[in-house]
Amino acid sequence: MAAVAQYGAYFAVLVVAAVPLGHYIARVYDGQASLAQRLLGPLERGIYRITGIRLDEEMTAKRYAFCLLAFNLAGALVVYLLQRLQGYLPLNPAHRGGVDPFVAFNTAVSFASNTNWQAYGGETTMSPLTQMAGLTVQNFLSAATGMAVAAALARGFIRRGSGTLGSFWVDLTRGAIYVLLPLSLLFAGLLVSQGVVQTFEGSITVKLVEPQESAAGQTITEQVIPLGPVASQVAIKQLGTNGGGYFNANSAHPFENPTPLSNFLELLAILLIPAALCFTFGSMVKSRRHGWVLFATMVALVIPPLLLCAASEHGGNRALADLGIDQAAGNMEGKEVRFGAFTSALWATVTTAASNGSVNAMHDSFTPLGGLAPMWLMQLGEVAFGGVGSGLYGLLMFAIIAVFIAGLMVGRTPELLGKKLEAYEMKMAALVVLLPSAAVLVGTAIACALPAGRAQVLNPGPHGFSEMLYAFSSAANNNGSAFSGLDATNRFYTLALSLCMLIGRYWVIVFVLAVAGALGRKNAVPVSAGTLPTDTPLFALLLIGTVLLIGALTFIPALALGPVVEHLRLAAVAGGAP
Amino acid sequence: MKKQRSTLSMFDKALVVRAFKDAARKLDPRTLYKNPVMFVVEIGSAFTTLLFLHALATAAGEASPWFILAVSLWLWFTVLFGNFAEAMAEGRGKAQADTLRRARADVPARRLAEPRRDAPVEEVLSALLRRGDLVLVAAGDLIPGDGEVIDGIASVDESAITGESAPVIRESGGDRTAVTGGTRVLSDWIIVRITADPGETFLDRMIAMVEGAKRQKTPNEIALSILLAALTIVFLLATVTLLAYSTYAVGAAGSGTPVTMTVLVALLVCLIPTTIGGLLSAIGIAGMDRMVQANVLATSGRAVEAAGDVDVLLLDKTGTITLGNREAVALIPAKGVKERALADAAQLASLADETPEGRSIVVLAKKKFGLRGRDLRSLSASFVPFSAHTRMSGVDVDGKQIRKGAADAIDRFVGEHGGVVPSEVQEIVAELCRGGATPLLVAQGKQVLGVVHLKDIVKGGIKDRFAQMRRLGIRTVMITGDNPLTASAIAAEAGVDDFLAEATPERKLALIRQYQQEGHLVAMTGDGTNDAPALAQADVAVAMNSGTQAAKEAGNMVDLDSNPTKLLDIVAIGKQMLMTRGALTTFSISNDVSKYFAIIPAAFATTYPELGSLNVMGLHSPQTAVLSAVIFNALIIVGLIPLALRGIKAIDLLLRWMAV
Amino acid sequence: MAQLLRPLLSSLLLFSALFGFAYPAAVTALASLAFPSKAGGSVVLVGQEAVGSSLIGQPFTRPESFWGRPSATAPSAYNASASGGSNLGPLHPRLLKAIEARVEALRPFDPEHARPIPIDLVTASGSGLDPHISKEAAFYQVQRVARSRGLSEKAVRSLVEQHVEGLWPGVFDEPRVNVLLLNLDLKNMEQTGVE
């Protein structure tokens, strides 16, 4: 009951914050956010002056995609070089050497694609310079890229008979300057007030209260505690659905997430912009009801996995039933006491509902069904909230398919927001939905078949299979969380997962922009009584059904061989009836 | 009216036998690859057959050879059933085509060198006739090709095409010039200018269409194929990767054997949308077939589908909304004019007017005042026919110009002669208009004699029909030559959404363009040559078979019954086709989940016996589970053939949907 | 191409400066003004000596101290330079064996096995640096600590009660105790002899 109150409060606060933010973002992309422009306008104009970006430039879908890809490629290259050369660069107090080329490539792709899959341990691999100039910068830019694509798609719906979608440079700049920067400053401040560290110092060394004997027989008297500009990075990593932690333990680390309140704030930050973008879309297409329908769809997709995860984690580990352990607190392996099972379950579902991927508990140690929930949310294609921008455009691709099927059933050729959907849009939407799923299935199969794939798992039996399935689900859907028992630092995983991340991000973006361009060129069809209304609860149900059905049809066999078998087996080991 | 075409029963014995043969012939992969879903099933069938032979020969097969054989056979049945559905649909068309083909047999034709009856004649075969050739057709001859009557008049038996046994009149000039190859002249003679080369005639098009030979995929069908192809790929990946997962699972569990190829193929076939894949073309063909049964000939499947999409119907008032023709019911003289004088002038002006309105005036004059018809020629009068531009007709006799026509037309006419329409006449006109009647003014020179009260009778039940259309989101627009006042009264009575009064061909065309610019799809009917531009512009353009060749060429459907109300049926058929497809797609995809529950526990029974608890259907052995899924999957195709051919009850379902 | 390269390179450079340097620098400057202690790691001083961070757990293994959560960090427990969890699944034999061993280690202090052991005392945390244990886990240890230190159970229990924290216990978080701070106060109490 207490958990339900917490979940209810969370979604209530989320709505209250997301609605006005969504409308504000719509004004930002329309260049109508007058108050913000008075404050930050000089910065925006200054950027345009130096870079030669023209405010009134109009790009075709092809040009938009080309600029986007070129910009992301350049960004990834910078991250790669920073990692490789950090040994020769300043701001490296711990004198860390260059990163392994495969891990560096994986990390560059991961941060540029808004995945933030971490094949490295944060506090032991990256210099502060790499973290700041490479990773933090990409946290902003990859998020702004996703939002720009969503804005371009919205313009595709609004514009009539137009060949252009706006300027990528302007959308990128506006999203970063007017949305991400102020929110990050705000959240970073709030997080520091809770104890998240923010300093340019490398570490502190403290004297242990109780010196310890190490396994090697040496006496340990000190604890070296790494520090860094953590709050500034955590703020954007949550807001931008990036999820790449400063520390290896990510948001389970007390310096990233010290209190229940900081936890609540970060949870809010994870879904804030993806939720707000629903309302942004409603606002941009001049139909706020559509924004609500998209938002409700997302919430409805998240609630059942959340409850499943919460119930399963709270239920504890049945294999421990005979050991005389009080499991009232639930399954606590890999969890922090200050969060507990319910809050950790909320985080696990929220971070995978959004393509955030930061964790405040170790998913690998979740109960089978508790781990199934986040995996399932990723496999749905990261459309229930999803990444900033990417969740919205992903769900709209599903909406295209849903409208098509529903349109067939009511005997009308499908229309969405006044745009007639034809074979071309269907083809693009099908590819968007298909490719990440294909990457997950095929990637996992290859990992199963190759020794280099099999050898890296930590857990035996079906759980080992889950680790591989989770990794590919996470990468291909740009989430970034992991069943971290899997050691993904070898060549096979760094390359295979990089490929999945590239497909899940850029392949999808190119097709989404193609749809945006095609829609923009069409004239609007007037709404009549026979138009299938797409701003009703009925349509939300249809959309939910479409997302669930496609996800279920694709992943039921794989899930059956991973978490489902493990769950049934756990029930059998515990001696209880399944 | 007798329609031979609708007498074919759903499962005529001859049809079924023929469909079975065709189903077997369609197994040829060179044709089957066009249907990717069924093609995948065929490959699976062939593959499992090889597995069976291998198991039989080496005794080292992956499973019992008889189990593999059973699966393999049912997979073959799945392909056959899909083919059978398509063959059934095509068979119905073919039976009709055969009838038509008999009429198309080569006939001798008399080619004329010049468009005169007495011009030199050359006997040729109809197959050699080319566009522009002139032929003479006399009583008893078959008309050798599609064409236009340029001289003569004849009664023609068109039953071979329309199923209508009563002969029709075809004559040069006017709106009844079009003749169709294969129809027979019963009396008199006509000279026909051939307008279609052999192979492109109306009859050829009709045969091709009912056979489904030249059926283009409609845009919607293409989009659906994309969705189905995408799903097929998803399932292909889901099953192929299962092999690797299964091998890993065996290693991880340390027990059992990997899933067999036979089971994987069975799973794949159960999952891919075979129901809709097998029935998709059957639905399309059945849609065309239903059009043909309604005596409507569409030139492409695209037109049929567009019919399901139209949201604006332009309906000619006369014949569609009102009962055929208006009738004169009263004569209202102007001040100072005797009613009898008005009747006399009106009768004179109408004597040569063969329109029903004209005739009804003559009848009324006779009934009221006993005025007899006079011979215009003896009066040395010259008849001025009605034209769409002057919108008047009348007669010039003894230097008097008598005209009857719409108020504004007569206003212009008397104005030209220096007169005006008296105010009390204008009031009468307005009064009649408000009541939905049509006032016809009669004038002689500059003097207006009075008003003929013509009354329209709105068809019974038409208002409900329009209300139904409105619920489907279809806007009805009445097209009429009447003045705005009259038009609005009738529009209100009939319950249409909008009307176009004082319509001219140009205004009609402009209206269609305007609607299309707003993104609507427009359907209309038409018959005259002056309708051709509008027909060419409309998305669904139904030409009346009785109309001119130009109108038929411009439209994309021809109504053989020449019944303008048919437009409403055409829309319903189009919608039904779309919805049948939607219902089957949804059905096909959503029962896949249950197939997973049947097959997955069975497929992994040796590795993970725990999965047995997912076997909610209680299938008692893994092999039963796999087989029953495959059998269900095959039989459901047969079970749904009647639905695919008949179509779901479109309107019912739609209204239920709207009520939600 | 020039039309692409100029905005591309110059904006990448500008954004790197803005988000990579100016933004963290601004946050750091503000943080050091508003929350200097928290921004610096919430260091706990005893006298002039830094003995830990109130947010980072430390290893305690002696019977007279309250023990924290098991830690899976490598190479030794509570290594703050390598945070992380065990990542062992619920059925992993190593997990089951480890938990059994931890239960065995706690058992001697409660031979009658009167109370079940709170789960957080035998499972490793996600970060390996969890500074807290649940209220129940602290109470579970009171008997042992009091006996080892020669203090009354009541005194130790009331000290634990003073250390129970929670934002909105039972709804947003679970009532819990900071092990480092509790042990420091315990030491304090013993030295000053105040009960």
Q: What is the DSSP string of A305-328?
A: HHHHHHHHHHH--GGGGGG-EE-T
Tokens 């992969």 belong to residue: B29
* Count of all residues that appear for chain C in the document: 195
Closest to A121 (Cα-Cα) out of A232, A245, A238, A204: A245
Structure tokens at B228: 């189905």
From chain A, pick out residues whose CB is under 8 angstroms from the CB of B230. Answer: 430-431, 433-434
Q: Is B174 exposed, middle or buried (0-12, 13-18, 19+ CB in 10 A)?
A: exposed
Q: Which of A338, A456, A567 best probes binding to C when mutated, by most C CB atoms within 10 angstroms?
A: A338
Tokens read off for A20: 């006005």
d(CA B186, CA B174): 21
CA distances to A113, A253, A337, B387, C119 from C57, in Å: 35, 10, 12, 100, 18
Question: Into how many domains does chain C fold?
Answer: 2
Residue B171 and residue B174: Cα distance in Å, rounded?
8
Q: Supply B164's token pair.
A: 């209508």
Contacts of the segment B379-384: beta carbons below 8 A, 24+ positions apart: B381/B348, B383/B351, B383/B352, B383/B353
Asked if the C-beta of C154 comes within 8 angstroms of chain A's C-beta atoms, the answer is: no
Active site residue B22: no
pLDDT of residue A1: 59
Instruction: Report helix, strand or coil for A107.
Output: helix
B650 close to B575: Cβ distance less than 8 angstroms: yes
Go through C6-15 and write b for each residue having 16 or more CB atoms within 10 A of its CB, e for each that does not.
Answer: ebbeebbebb
| pLDDT tens by residue, B442-463 | 888 888 888 888 887 777 778 8
Would you state the structure tokens that stand for residue B237, as one six-digit string? 């990946």
> Do C22 and C101 sit in the same domain of this protein?
no
Bridge-based pairing of strands B475-479 and B312-316 is parallel
| Cα separations in angstroms, A564 against A124, A372, B250, B600, B613 | 36, 8, 16, 12, 11
Residue B320: pLDDT over 90: no
**Confidence at residue B175, expressed as pLDDT on a 0 to 100 scale:** 67
Determine the pLDDT at residue B657: 46
What's the mean per-residue pLDDT of chain C?
A: 91
pLDDT reported for residue B4? 41
d(CA A399, CA B598): 30
* CB C164 within 8 Å of CB C176: yes
pLDDT of residue A578: 35
Q: Residue B411, Cβ neighbours under 10 Å: how many? A: 20
Burial pattern B370-383, b for ≥16 Cβ within 10 A else e, equals: ebeeeeeeeeebee
Q: Which residues pair with B401 in a beta bridge?
A: B396
- Side-chain-side CA neighbours of A388 within 13 Å: the count stands at 33
Among B237, B600, C127, B223, which Cα is nearest to A476's? B237
Residue type, B416: E
- For chain C, percent of residues with pLDDT exceeding 90: 76
CA–CA min distance B275, chain A (Å): 15
Nearest CA in chain A to B235: A554
Of A422, A437, A538, the CB nearest to B660: A538
Residues of C in contact with A66 (CB under 8 A): 4
Cis peptide bond N-terminal to C75, omega within 30: yes
Question: Using one digit for the tens of pLDDT, what is the confidence trace for A250-307?
Answer: 999 999 999 999 999 999 999 999 999 999 999 999 999 999 999 999 999 999 999 9
d(CA A521, CA A329): 57
Same domain, C27 and C100: no
Where helices occur in B215-355 by DSSP H, the ranges are 219-253, 261-271, 274-293, 301-309, 339-350
SS3 C98: helix
Average of pLDDT values for B286-294?
79
Chain A residues lying within 8 Å of B247, measured CB to CB: 448-449
Q: Which residue bears the tokens 């945390």?
A: C125
Residue B3 pLDDT: 40
pTM, rounded to two decimals: 0.83
Q: Pick A326's closest partner by Cβ from C28, C88, C116.
A: C116
B167 SS3 class: coil
Cβ atoms of C8 and A70 closer than 8 Å: yes
- C56 in A contact zone (CB under 8 Å): yes
> Could you tell me which residues come within 8 angstroms of residue A269 by beta carbon, excluding any fewer than 6 positions away?
A183, A187, A235, A238, A239
* Other Cβ atoms within 10 Å of B114 Cβ, number: 10
**Which residue segment(s) compose the domain that A461 sits in?**
2-574
How far from the centroid of its chain's Cα atoms is residue C65's Cα? 15
ipTM: 0.95
pLDDT interval class at A156 (50, 70, 90)? very high
User: For B179, which DSSP code?
Assistant: E
Contact B481, B530 (CB under 8 A): no
CA distance B359 to B347: 9
Separation between Cα atoms, residue B564 and residue B560, nearest integer Å: 10
**Are A549 and B593 a contacting pair at CB < 8 A?**
yes
Q: Give the integer Cα–Cα distance in Å for A148 and A155.
A: 11
pLDDT in tens, A480-521: 999 999 999 999 999 999 999 999 999 999 999 999 999 999
pLDDT at residue A409 is higher than 80: no
Q: How confident is the model at residue B503 (pLDDT cuts 50, 70, 90)?
A: confident
Name residue B599's amino acid. Answer: I
CA distance B282 to B584: 12
pLDDT at B213: 45
Same domain (yes/no): C143, C180: yes
Local structure of residue B498 (DSSP, 8 states): E
Same domain, C53 and C33: no
C62 and C107 both lie in a single domain: yes
Which of A72-76, B232-236, B283-287 is the least confident region? B283-287
B161 band by pLDDT with thresholds 50, 70 and 90? low
Tell me the angle at which helices B261-271 and B65-104 cross, rounded to the nearest 10 degrees.
40
- A289 CB neighbour count, 10 Å cutoff: 12
How far is A527 from A353, CA to CA, in rounded Å?
33
Separation CA B139–CA A456 (nearest Å): 92
Question: Number of C-alpha atoms within 13 angstroms, CB side, residue B640?
Answer: 28
Question: What's the start-to-end Cα distance of chain A, in Å?
Answer: 25
List CB contacts of B60: < 8 A, sequence separation 6 or more: none
pLDDT, position A371: 96
Residue A576 reports pLDDT greater than 60: no
Number of domains chain A is built from:
1
Beta-bridge partners for B193: B134, B148
* Partners of chain A (3+ Cβ pairs below 8 A): B, C
pLDDT for residue B651? 46
Whether residues C77 and C166 fall in one domain: yes
Catalytic residue among B146, B157, B309, B316: B316
pLDDT at A131 over 80: yes
> Taking all residues of chain A, what is their mean pLDDT, rounded to a whole number?
92
**Residue A44's pLDDT is what?**
94
Q: Is A141 exposed, middle or buried (0-12, 13-18, 19+ CB in 10 A)?
A: buried
> Cβ–Cβ contacts within 10 Å for residue A529, how many?
14
Of A411, A538, A558, the CB nearest to B575: A411
Distance CA A463, CA A8 (A): 32
Checking if the pLDDT of A413 tops 80, the result is: no
The answer to whether the CB of A119 falls within 8 A of the CB of A216 is no
Q: Is any Cβ of chain A less than 8 angstroms from the Cβ of C89? A: yes
Mean pLDDT (whole number) for A51-77? 95
**Closest listed residue to residue A146, CA positions, set A381, A387, A379, A384:** A387
What single-letter DSSP state applies at residue A89? S
Put simply, the answer to whether A408 touches B650 (Cβ < 8 Å) is no
Full domain range(s) for residue C114: 42-191
Position B273 scores a pLDDT of: 87
C15 and C50 fall within a common domain: no
Span A553-568, mean pLDDT? Answer: 94
- CA B353 – CA B356 distance, rounded (Å): 8
Alpha helices in C16-152 (DSSP H): 23-34, 36-39, 93-106, 135-149
Mean pLDDT value across residues B570-592: 81
- Residue range C102-117: mean pLDDT, rounded: 83
| Longest pairwise C-alpha distance within chain A | 81
Distances (CA, A) of A400 to A307, A525, B466, B591: 29, 16, 31, 22
pLDDT tops 50 at residue B214: no
Using an 8 Å Cβ cutoff, are A467 and A561 in contact? Answer: no
CA–CA dist A336, A361 (Å, integer):
7
pLDDT at B610 over 90: no
- Cα–Cα distance, A322 to A328 (Å, whole number): 14
Q: Are residues C55 and C71 in the same domain?
A: yes
* Res. B649 pLDDT band, cuts 50 70 90: low
Which range among B77-91, B526-540, C79-93 shows the weakest confidence by mean pLDDT?
B526-540
pLDDT, tens digit (0-9, with 9 covering 90-100), for A306-362? 999 999 999 999 999 888 899 999 999 999 999 999 999 999 999 999 999 999 999
| Residue located via tokens 């390179």 | C9
What pLDDT is stored for residue A191 in this prediction? Answer: 97
- Which chain B residue shows the shortest CA-CA distance from A460? B252
Predicted pLDDT of residue B209: 62
- Taking only the tens place, the pLDDT of each residue in B522-547 is 898 877 777 788 888 888 888 887 77
Residue bearing the bigger pLDDT, B256 or B617: B256
Q: Which of B55-64, B408-417, C110-119 is the most confident on average?
A: B408-417
Interface test with A, best of B232, B234, B658 (most A CBs within 10 A): B234
Between the alpha carbon of residue B40 and those of residues B28, B54, B288, the distances in Å are 13, 21, 27
A115 by Cβ neighbours in 10 Å (0-12 / 13-18 / 19+) ranks as buried
pLDDT over 90, % of chain A = 80
Q: What's the whole-number mean pLDDT along residues A547-556? A: 93
- Which residues are CB-neighbours of B367 under 8 A, at least 6 positions away? none
User: What pLDDT is attached to residue B656?
Assistant: 46
Check whether residue C57 and residue C137 sit in a common domain: yes
| Tens digits of residue pLDDT in A356-387 | 999 999 999 999 999 999 999 999 999 999 99
Subunit contact C14:A50, Cβ cutoff 8 A: yes
| The pLDDT of residue B212 | 56
Which tokens sit at B569?
A: 């049926």
Alpha-carbon span A483 to A274, nearest angstrom? 24
For B201-213, what is each residue's pLDDT tens digit? 766 766 766 665 4
Q: Say yes or no to pLDDT of B7 above 50.
A: no
Residues A173 and A145 sit within 8 Å (Cβ to Cβ): no
pLDDT band at B1 (very low <50, low <70, confident <90, very high): very low
Q: Does the CB of B244 have a partner CB in chain A at under 8 Å?
A: yes
